[in-house]
Structure 1
Amino acid sequence: MTPDHHRSNVSLARRAWAIRHNAVRMGQVQGQGYIGQALGVADVLAASYFHALSYRPDDPEWEGRDRFLLSIGHYAIALYAAMIEAGILPEQELETYGTDDSRLPMSGMASYTPGMEITGGSLGHGLGIAVGMALGLKRKDNPAFVYNLLSDGELGEGSTWEAVQSATQWKLDNLIAIVDVNDQQADGKPSDALMQMPEAPRWEAFGWFAQEVDGNDIDAVVAALDAARHHPGPQPRVVICRTTMCKGVPFLEEREITHFVRVEEDEWDRALAILDEGKPA
């Protein structure tokens, strides 16, 4: 879509609902998936794809597009859900999620999926790739932005902070990092693994323009993304989004949350029914 695509009459809340609905339907296909993260980050993806980003659904390789990099490859179910809603991927492919020969593998792969800019999975690499893309766009005088969605768990990777420093060195004001902070990683809570510091001041100490918002407040995310894109300083930008795992499905929100939320066979329909009941106008 052109930069005017976000003027659609469909509300961002409705877009976020559709992303959640698509993700749960895909999870039901396999009986599993990183559904907790997908439900939690749906509002961030709605604000990104239906407000902030410039792209053309029928031309994912359009040179003028903003690049959206999914550093956290296991969040692929969430990104597919957003790209289906955006028209980049056809809705009928939702039923192929994670199956043999599907274009929607359970971990994101750029070689398989239109609109998937990078292959994620080995965490800590995405921001470094984003730095290279942003620098390359600048050298080609391409005004597009690079957005990189990464996780709080990735902030424990040294390579992430090398990329942070490099972005500052090259004055990459066309780079916007988005950090999903849900305090979950494979081995437990990031807050239990490493010494925690206030997130925004840490990025600011590296020379970034940093904001911290409630990632499940769409209006707050929209305002932060706008401020990041239009910030006048010659510096990279980061929006730190604190999200709630399983947001929008209360019975999942209320159970003991771990990195991989298990959903029983009979619970998928229950989750879809709850989402349907709360569908925005």
Structure 2
Amino acid sequence: MSDRALPRRGEHSVEELEDLAFELRSKLLQLCGTYEGAVHIGGDLSAADIFTALFGYGLRVDPADIAHPGRDRFVLSKGHAAVCMYIAMAIRGFFSYEGIVETYGQLDSAYGMHPCKVQLPGVECSTGSLGHGLPLAVGMALGARHRDEDHRIVCLLGDGETGEGSVWEAAMAARSNRLGNLVAFVDRNRQLMTSFAEERVLFEPYPDKWRAFGWNVLEIDGHDMGELVRAIDALPDAGSDRPTVVICETVKGKGVDFMEHNLAWHAGSLGAVDLERAMAALSASRTAAVA
């Protein structure tokens, strides 16, 4: 183990994290309003609070020492939410938001529509093909165990991709290898690209499926920052023998009323009128939340 000081977790209060989540959503909408192509805005907004809680509070990482062996590893399995991750990382101090806006989605940009560890230092895994992130995270967690390292591997999945068989093979392997250093967060927004989830795949009883595979299961409101913080604080020690899944009930398009539960906003772009409308809706939802 390195003799460098271990990276620290974020130290924000719940109230500060709520402000950061609003900042993240605001910057996400602004980028969506300037980028000429489509942004996966619906799933970005549903996961924004989770990203904020992880990068602003839960993950033991150091933007100034991104290769520290004691850092927690984050794997974004729902790789199409990359821009939301980039902005959360920028808020944590990994790089600048302005740099994201300048080149997002362009050829050879470090900020692609899906994350690439070769292009962007600080990204632990290149992802995008759904169902692959958890298997990668299992391998990383198993490797950490063999090296007697005590960091966590945290993986964020969309609920739709958990219809993939590779996810459940990984879930079985994680429990079989007693990987208590592995934590999965599921963005349970109950929508797929073109339909609502239960119309295509019968996921329910969803938490029971994870329990049947031997995982420790936490069920929370994925938009309640207090619940997210308490779930992170309640995670078993990384040396424990049971992986944990945090099932976060969320709303696709959260914070922008005309996007919420709206299949048309799985991905899209915002013109000037829609951007103004979206920012007004986001501000109204924030005001209502703190009233």
Q: Which one of the candidate residues 244, 260, 275 is aligned to 1:237?
A: 244
CA distance in 2, matches of 1:274, 1:107: 27
- 8 Å CA contact 1:188–1:258 kept in 2: the answer is no
What is the DSSP-based 3-state SS (H/G/I as helix, E as strand, rest coil) of the residue aligned with 2:268?
coil
> Post-superposition shift, 1:195?
2.5
Q: Which moved more, 1:118-127 or 1:196-205?
A: 196-205
Matches within 5 A, 1:167-186: 167-186=174-193
Q: Which one of the candidate residues 33, 48, 59 is aligned to 1:28?
A: 33
CA distance in 2, matches of 1:131, 1:200: 20
CA distance in 1, matches of 2:210, 2:238: 15
Q: Gapped runs of 5+ residues in structure 2? A: 1-5
Q: Which one of the candidate residues 122, 130, 135 is aligned to 1:123?
A: 130
- 8 Å CA contact 1:88–1:114 kept in 2: the answer is no
The amino acid that maps onto 1:220 is E
The amino acid that maps onto 1:27 is C
Alignment CA distance shift 1:216-1:10 (3 Å):
closer
Q: Which moved more, 1:116-125 or 1:155-164?
A: 116-125
Alignment CA distance shift 1:6-1:225 (3 Å):
same
> Post-superposition shift, 1:246?
1.3
Are positions 1:202 and 2:209 aligned together?
yes
CA distance in 2, matches of 1:214, 1:14: 18
User: TM-score, structure 1 length as denominator?
Assistant: 0.91
- 8 Å CA contact 1:26–1:77 kept in 2: the answer is no
Are positions 1:219 and 2:217 aligned together?
no
- 8 Å CA contact 2:43–2:253 kept in 1: the answer is yes
Deviation per CA, 1:43-80, whole angstroms, max 9, x where unpaired? 11111111111001122222111011001110101101
> Post-superposition shift, 1:270?
2.9
The corresponding residue for 2:3 is none
Are positions 1:94 and 2:110 aligned together?
no
- 8 Å CA contact 1:35–1:77 kept in 2: the answer is no
Q: Which moved more, 1:115-124 or 1:161-170?
A: 115-124
User: TM-score, structure 2 length as denominator?
Assistant: 0.88
The corresponding residue for 1:67 is 73
- 8 Å CA contact 1:89–1:114 kept in 2: the answer is no
Residue correspondences, number:
280
Q: Gapped runs of 5+ residues in structure 1? A: none
Q: Which one of the candidate residues 157, 168, 193 is aligned to 1:161?
A: 168
State the identity as a percent. 36
- 8 Å CA contact 1:20–1:81 kept in 2: the answer is no
CA distance in 1, matches of 2:70, 2:7: 9
> Post-superposition shift, 1:8?
6.7
- 8 Å CA contact 1:71–1:124 kept in 2: the answer is yes
